[in-house]
Each structure stands twice: as C-alpha cells, then as structure tokens.
Amino acid sequence: MSSERILVVDDHRDSLELLKIQLTFLGWEVVPANSGREALEIVRMDRPNLVVLDMLMPEIDGFQVARLLKSDPDWRRIPILAATALAMPGDRERCLAAGCDDYLSKPFTHRELKEHLTRLLARSKLSAVSDQQAGLSNEEQEKTTLSSQLAES
C-alpha cells in the first residue's frame, strides 16, 4: 500500500465519499475534509502529500484555500488538484492562477483521476529530490569556500 496521504476537500458528502472510495481503492490513504476551514486545520496538524480540492464551497472556498496554501513557505510545495464542477471557458485558468497545480472538471472517470494524481505525486517527488540535490550542492560549495578561506589564513 502507498504511503501517500491525500487530503480530499468537498462540502458535498456524496462527492467526498465517492472520492474517498476511489482513492482508497487505488491504494492511497485518504483524509477527508468537509470544508476549506477543516482542510486548513488538517494541513496544519498533519501535512498531506497532495490535496484534491473542490473549488465551490461556502465560507472558505477552494480558491482561498489554494491561495493560503501556496502563500505559506511550509505548504507551498503540496500539490493541489482542483476537482470541480467549474467547466466554463476560463475556469481552468482561474483555478491554476489561484495556486492549483492541476485541474479536473466533474464528472471525471476513475482513470482520469488516477492519471492526474499519479502525475502530480511523481512531479512532487521529483521536485523534492531536486531540492535535496540543490541543498547538497550548496553545502558542498560552502565547504569548498570555507576550505579555501582556511587555506588562505
């Protein structure tokens, strides 16, 4: 079973339950949230590997959740899939502009959902490895600089 935790946020109980069943079947651990506020609390307590986000919710909508997550340095790397009924021209662009990393309009197939999530998780892992390598390169550069400075002293 996969170790990835996916936060699923939807204010419609049936949609939330269907997504939970689909993702559990695919082998992911699912953390459900019924609202944007609950989603933000969950992210603060236990950072998920990915967020599947309904954009149309009362109080704090998906656009606000995406903006808040992407504006925080601790959370900005969490990939967000907008899973939404918004399917008019320009809606995809609005979701991406708010900070979502990908967009899927409802209704979607089981296969489409799996493809989008697999791609986002793979991209996230690749980004983490790149960041790690960049950190190592910076550390090596600092060591070289310090060694040069010590040799000159």
**Structural domain count of the chain:** 1
pLDDT tens, residue by residue, 61-84:
999 999 999 999 999 999 999 999
pLDDT tens, residue by residue, 103-131:
999 999 999 999 999 999 999 887 765 55
| Beta-carbon-side half-sphere exposure of residue 82 (alpha carbons within 13 Å) | 28
pLDDT tens, residue by residue, 24-34:
999 999 999 99
Residues 6+ apart with CB under 8 A from 91: 84, 103, 105
The domain containing residue 71 runs over which residues? Answer: 5-152
**Would you say the C-alpha torsion 115, 117, 118, 120 has a positive or negative sign?**
positive
- Mean pLDDT estimate for the chain: 88
Rounded Cα distance between 143 and 153, Å, is: 15
pLDDT of residue 86: 84
Q: What is the CATH number of the domain that holds 38?
A: 3.40.50.2300
In the block, tokens 């989008």 appear at 116
